[in-house]
Chain A
Amino acid sequence: MSVKINLDFTLNGRPVTIEVPAEMTVLNLLRDGLDLKGTKYACGEGECGACTIEVDGRTINSCLMMAADLQGRAVMTIEGMQEGHALHPMQQAFVDHGAVQCGFCMPGMIIQANYLVKQNPQLTREEMKRGLEGNICRCTGYTKVLDAVAAVVGLNENKGLEHG
């Protein structure tokens, strides 16, 4: 067995201390070590985005990142998006706009969509497509996904008007 490393990091706002083998990926740590199975394996090569999570405010493919590299970082997974019982507005938009079919790619897709809107609250549809190019979905043809993100962007615009 490879050497083990003691890690301290923040996961969905809570501190985690855990020992991991040096070669473990973040995806395996989340799914097998921490039993957070919302983050999905679908290719293991960074080609499909099903394992997308946010680390220090940037999205990455957790199948590629080494768990050891989480030391001192802040992680958000799909399980950390909602507040209490209420779905996060992005999650709700995906539900409301019919963007979820088999749903397997959705945790990664939703994390990525949320990141895109945080980066640019006035995202255009073309920018959404570019921003989601690393997330493969086999069910939806992406159209309803884009509708959902557009609705959240619209929501932000409306909020902006209210406050402005």
Chain B
Amino acid sequence: MAENVAFKHIEKTSMIGKRIKKPDAPAKAIGKTRYINDMVLPQMLYGKILHAGRPHAEIISIDTSEAEKLAGVHLVITAKDTPDLKLGFVKDNAPLKSKVLCERDEVAAVAAISEAIAAAAIKLIKVSYKDLPGVFSAEEGLKADAPQIQENFPGNKSLKFEFKHGDLAEAEAGSDIILDHVFNVHYVTHCCMGTSCAIADFDHNGKLTIYSQTQYPYNYKMDLAPALGIDPGDIRVIQPTTGGSFGAKLDVYPYEPVAAILARKTGRPVKVLFDREEEFINSPTRQPAAIHLRTGCTSDGILTFRSADVLMDNGAYTSWGPTVPVIMMRTVSGHYRVPVIDFKAQAVYSNNAYAGSFRGYGNVQMTYATAQHMDMFAEELSEKYGMDPIEFHLKNAQKSGEVTPQKSYLRECVLAECLTTAAEASDYVNKHKSYTEARAQEGRYKRGIGLASSIHNAGGAKIHKSDGCGTILKMDDYARVTVITGASEIGQGIDAVISQIVSEELGVPPEHVTLVNNDSDIGPWDVGVHASRTTFIAGNGAKRAAIKAKEQILAAASKQANVTAEELDLRGGYVVQDKDGAAVIRLDRMLRQMHFQPTPDVVMVSDYYEPNSELEGKDHISDHSAAYSHAVHIAEVMVDTLTGEVKVEKVTMAQDVGRVINQMGLEAQMEGGLAFGLGFALSEEMIFEEGRLLNPNFRDYKVPTAPEMPEIEMHFIESDCEEGPYGAKGIAELPTIVVAPAIANAVYNATGIRFLNPPMNPEKVARAIWEKKQADS
């Protein structure tokens, strides 16, 4: 070896747990990043959709002639142009509608040379409607005389779920306390800052390239194809940078096939981009639910059973919203050790908005209920039997190795550590006691502290046949690494995590790792960015691919250095001796030597990682995630008992993260996730009147702003997950899930009032306090 590296020694260091900057942040910070919203393609037309703006109606006639005559308009389409095209996984939706079933329904669409002309043309389309009586709640939909919404779903019955375990009657008989409440969880929506957008372009072989914000590019093809009547193989999905997603783009929604149909018929690229009002009205919501929860407990503080009967307003069409019981029931059966479970859920069609997936996926709704029941038990057990509230939680907290009734195998479980860490850090027990005492005293402002916890899948969720992710890794002659992964980047930071993991394994700086992950014709398959799965699944994939590359390089190096591969390592851009870090050869030189020889040895490896989990089946008994995680939040609030304003002053969180990978990205996910939960708990609410959204704007739909953010104290508990990359678990949904009931429990501690129906907005809180005062006096 000619190179003089003899005196160079490189110590073994680790990237894992460091603060890694997001690789795409500089371009975003200087305004250079091209978001899909910013894209303009040559010859591109602008598509605009006419929405019905009424909840239930026959379409008597549509006159598009004036719109067609407008200068600059290329095409106007209606349902007549798209017969037999269906979408949605029960195929109850269509790109354009021949009958109106909800306010957002897409009635016609225009392609024109500018946004302004397309908007003007929409106004020229004359539609004659015959309004029909509507169904505006799940209860109404179930009535015998309710109008039938979807032809193929008699009685308006949509999806149904059931899980039973153990003898409910016996468990009830053995309970000393039974709680029985109905929690009504409201409509909220994602409010991605970049509004929804799709750009469709067909080539001359009939292949569609769709620029999309989708979170699941590979199955997306399968779902989009029937809405266009083409083969999924004829779809290429490109994911330009997107302005947020949070679950909103986990399905195909009508604007996407509409863009494609306009593109196919005009022969031009067509862009459909929502304005903010369209975004509010035409985006999926979080699934609302009426949760009738019953929970039993003994006087010793041991949980005996949970029974949940969930009624969901399906809205007019079925997207992912009504599938959330799959996760809800894991909470019912796994949020603490509960031996007997009785879970039912029914979704009912209505003429309301329809729900999709949304960060927390059912667990936000269910934990709002279960975590309040836990707090009610803790209160009652403390009052009646003097039991310490944390002791009650600890008694029921599962431990490593336990298996839930649904067969979630809690391999590494640190719920107890999360509970004690958060409780001690926040001085929960003392504060809770003193605020309880202060409740009866005079005074306008009341403090409260509340604890909530939950469980969530942290190693993917196998609801498809595969929950895997493909990775292709290549190294060039200069030791630069390209990782082609199926995993999508929607702002959450998988770009930083993958560069960090590859850097860890290959001993190259993270900035020498390029990520390619936005083109379905290039990337290998992945199920999508959802279910807190990407660091776990794609991280494992990247790690396994990098290890393969490393083994290949070390095998080649070992031949040259006459040592075994096990005696070598990659560090700081060198092949080194593992034992003392003595440099053997510069990595780029090694790669060139491997490359330029009679039998070239080029580093191009691939991996498909399938997590060690079982498919979610019809019986819902399977270990459907490769890991599960817990989080505990303790919220401290100040309630103005006259105005009803709730100010969250501090949140102390303790979460099982498995192992910290990117400390900075982890914190950022926690803080952002918490903000979602905060808005859900206190201020965000879609207000509907007979199926029409009354507040489609940021004035009246109140997402949290900077002054409302509490102080956040984070404790990351490292359970060292055997299956996760370096021990890591998925993390991003729990902060959204747990904070709202923690706030509700804190508001109870401050006021003595339970809020079963979020949001706890000022009027609701003020009214409840006022009514309690009237009743008490």
Contacts and interface: CB of A to CB of B under 8 A. Distances in A.
A–B proximity contact (CB within 8 A): yes
A98 B491 contact: no
B193 A137 contact: yes
A79 B30 contact: yes
A45 B675 contact: no
A138 interface: yes
Contacts of A95: 21-22, 25-26, 29
A136 B698 contact: yes
B217 to A, nearest CB: 17
Given A45-B276, A133-B707, A140-B668, A104 B698 contact: no
A105 B24 CA distance: 14
A6 interface: no
Contact of B35 (A47, A104, A142, A144): A104
B25 A141 contact: no
A146 B712 CA distance: 13
B570 interface: no
Contacts of A40: 35, 37, 193-194, 243
28 contacts: A37-B38, A39-B31, A41-B275, A42-B195, A42-B276, A43-B698, A78-B30, A79-B32, A87-B26, A91-B26, A95-B29, A98-B25, A100-B24, A101-B22, A102-B241, A102-B242, A102-B245, A103-B33, A105-B193, A128-B706, A136-B705, A138-B193, A138-B246, A141-B709, A141-B712, A142-B671, A142-B706, A144-B671
B283 to A, nearest CB: 13
A142 B675 contact: yes
Contacts of B673: 141
A121 interface: no
Contacts of B192: 102, 104, 138
Interface of B: 19, 21-22, 24-26, 28-35, 37-38, 190-195, 241-246, 275-276, 490-493, 664-665, 667-668, 671-676, 678, 697-699, 703-707, 709, 712
Given A91-B29, A100-B24, A135-B705, 16 more contacts: A37-B34, A37-B38, A38-B32, A45-B699, A47-B697, A79-B31, A91-B30, A94-B25, A98-B664, A102-B194, A132-B705, A138-B244, A139-B244, A139-B668, A140-B671, A141-B709
B244 A102 contact: yes
Contact of B193 (A36, A48, A133): A48
A124 B490 CA distance: 32
A106 B21 CA distance: 15
A42 B194 contact: yes
Interface of A: 31, 36-45, 47-48, 50, 77-79, 81-82, 87, 91-92, 94-107, 110, 128-130, 132-146
A1 to B, nearest CB: 10
A155 B29 CA distance: 19
Contacts of B195: 41-42
B103 to A, nearest CB: 20
A24 to B, nearest CB: 10
B686 to A, nearest CB: 16
Contacts of B674: 141
Contacts of B492: 101
Contacts of B491: 101-103, 139
A146 B711 CA distance: 11
A135 B707 CA distance: 11
Contacts of A144: 664, 667-668, 671
A100 B29 contact: yes
Contact of A102 (B21, B490, B671, B678): B490
Given A38-B31, A104-B243, A142 B709 contact: yes
Nearest to A31: B38
Contacts of A99: 668
Nearest to A103: B28
Contact of B30 (A44, A47, A87, A129): A87
The 8 lowest CB-CB distance pairs between A and B, nearest first, are: A38-B31, A102-B491, A103-B28, A104-B243, A78-B31, A141-B675, A141-B671, A47-B698
A103 B191 CA distance: 14
Contacts of B246: 138
A37 B39 CA distance: 9
Nearest to B31: A38
B672 A140 contact: yes
Contact of A48 (B28, B676, B698): B698
Nearest to B677: A141
Nearest to A132: B706
Contacts of B241: 102-103
A98 B706 contact: no
A45 B667 contact: no
B28 A146 contact: no
A136 B30 contact: no
